[in-house]
């Protein structure tokens, strides 16, 4: 286990990469730089209240990583921050506004639980990357606020006529 004091503001690139003995990490840093923990055997990562960003490949290929705890202050998670880390089961984020980025492996979307503030759910459902945690199909193709026969007709017409699909045609919210 590693618990870093508040004086550590940045976890530098490759600081703990490949570390086989690191199981639990608690940091007070405001930035975790690229590849900081790449390939480490970390199981639980917890960031204190001042983390702002997690850079690219920071936790790439961390096959043992199961639990991520992020504070309300986090605003950016690189799209590749957790690439190859497929065994994550719990992601807890205290932020009301979804961090930008936050793209995970398909297995994570299928198997992990996303824990967010209750009032933040609409924002996470609408945010790229984060919306993939919600098993919803809105079906409101014409964006009139109702799922009805008009949506089915429009979807069929789009498919049959090979029309360009609009953003409103995204029935499974995958972007």
Residue 166 is predicted with a pLDDT of 47
pLDDT (tens digit per residue) in 16-46? 999 999 999 998 899 999 999 999 999 999 9
End-to-end CA distance of the chain: 38
Residue 3 is predicted with a pLDDT of 75
**What is the average per-residue pLDDT within 55-82?**
95
Are the beta carbons of 98 and 121 closer than 8 angstroms?
no
Residue 165 is predicted with a pLDDT of 47
| Tokens found for residue 90 | 């719990």
Q: What is the mean pLDDT of the chain?
A: 85
Distance of CA 85 to the CA centre of its chain: 12
Are the beta carbons of 107 and 131 closer than 8 angstroms?
no
Phi then psi dihedrals of residue 131, to 5 deg? -60, -20
Residues with Cβ within 8 Å of residue 9, at least 6 apart in sequence: 29, 30, 31
pLDDT (tens digit per residue) in 137-148? 456 666 666 677
Higher pLDDT pick, 90 / 7: 90
| Tokens found for residue 34 | 């690229």
- Determine how many CB atoms are found less than 10 A away from the CB of residue 4: 15
Phi then psi dihedrals of residue 116, to 5 deg? -135, 165
Residue 8 is predicted with a pLDDT of 81
**Residue 56 three-state SS:** coil
pLDDT at 167 over 80: no
Tell me what percent of the residues of the chain surpass a pLDDT of 70.
83
Read off the pTM: 0.74
Residues with Cβ within 8 Å of residue 96, at least 6 apart in sequence: 72, 117, 119, 120, 123
């Amino acid at each position: 286990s590693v618990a870093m004091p508040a004086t550590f503001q940045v976890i530098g690139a490759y600081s703990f990469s490949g570390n086989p003995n690191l199981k639990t990490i608690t940091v007070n840093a405001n930035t975790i730089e690229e590849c900081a923990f790449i390939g480490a055997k970390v199981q639980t990562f917890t960031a204190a209240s001042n983390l702002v960003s997690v850079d690219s490949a920071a936790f790439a290929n961390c096959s043992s990583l199961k639990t991520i705890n992020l504070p309300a202050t986090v605003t950016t998670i690189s799209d590749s921050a957790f690439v190859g880390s497929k065994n994550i089961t719990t992601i807890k984020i205290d932020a009301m506004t979804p961090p930008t980025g936050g793209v995970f492996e398909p297995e994570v979307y299928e198997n992990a639980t996303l824990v967010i503030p209750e009032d933040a759910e609409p924002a996470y459902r609408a945010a790229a990357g984060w919306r993939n945690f919600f098993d919803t199909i809105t079906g409101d193709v014409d964006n009139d606020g109702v799922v009805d026969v008009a949506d089915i007709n429009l979807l069929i017409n789009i498919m049959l006529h090979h029309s360009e699909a609009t953003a409103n045609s995204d029935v499974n919210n995958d972007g």
